[in-house]
Amino acid sequence: MSTSLPKPEWLKVRPPAGERYTHIKGRLRQLGLSTVCEEARCPNVAECWGGGTATIMVMGDTCTRGCRFCAVKTNRNGQPLDPDEPTKVAGMLAELDCEYVVITSVDRDDLADQGAGHFAAVIREV
C-alpha cells in the first residue's frame, strides 16, 4: 500500500480569475480577437494576463497547417481576414497598458502572401 504526499503549492495551477484577467477576456470577446493563450489552451493564461502580458494571435483562430503538437484548430482554409483587426489590436493594447506584448499569428497558407501584408498592417497600427 502506497501513500502519496500532497502536491507542492507551486505545482498546482489555479483556474483563471481576477479582475485584470476578466477585463482582458471580455474585451477580446467584444472585439472578436484571438489569443494563442486561449486557442492553444495554455495553463498559464491567468498568470500572464494578470501580470500585464498579452499575446495576441492575428488572422483568426484557425491555422491552415496541422501540426500535431499544437492545440490551435486547423482547416485547409482560414477565415476571411478582418480588415479592422489592425485597429482593434492597437486600440486594445493601448487601453490595456500592458507591460509586455507578443503579436503572433496562425499560419495562412491559403492566402497569396500567407498573410504577411495583414500582419504588417497590424504592426504599423500598433
| Tens-place pLDDT, residues 59-118 | 999 999 988 888 889 999 989 999 999 999 999 998 887 788 899 999 999 999 999 999
Q: Confidence class of residue 14 from pLDDT cuts 50, 70 and 90?
A: low
What is the per-residue pLDDT for 1? 56
Nearest to 103 by CA among 46, 10, 47, 37: 37
Whether residue 63 contacts residue 76, with contact meaning beta carbons closer than 8 Å, is answered with no
Q: What is the mean pLDDT of residues 2-29?
A: 77
What is the per-residue pLDDT for 66? 85
Nearest to 118 by CA among 89, 86, 87: 86
* Residue 113, CA distances (Å) to 107, 110, 116 in order: 11, 9, 6
Gap between the Cα atoms of 32 and 21, Å rounded = 16
How far the first Cα of the chain sits from its last, in Å, is 59
Joined together, the cell numbers standing for residue 116 give 504577411
Gap between the Cα atoms of 1 and 83, Å rounded = 62
3-state secondary structure of 101: strand
Q: Which residue has the cell 499560419?
A: 107
More confident position, 16 or 84: 84
More confident position, 22 or 81: 81
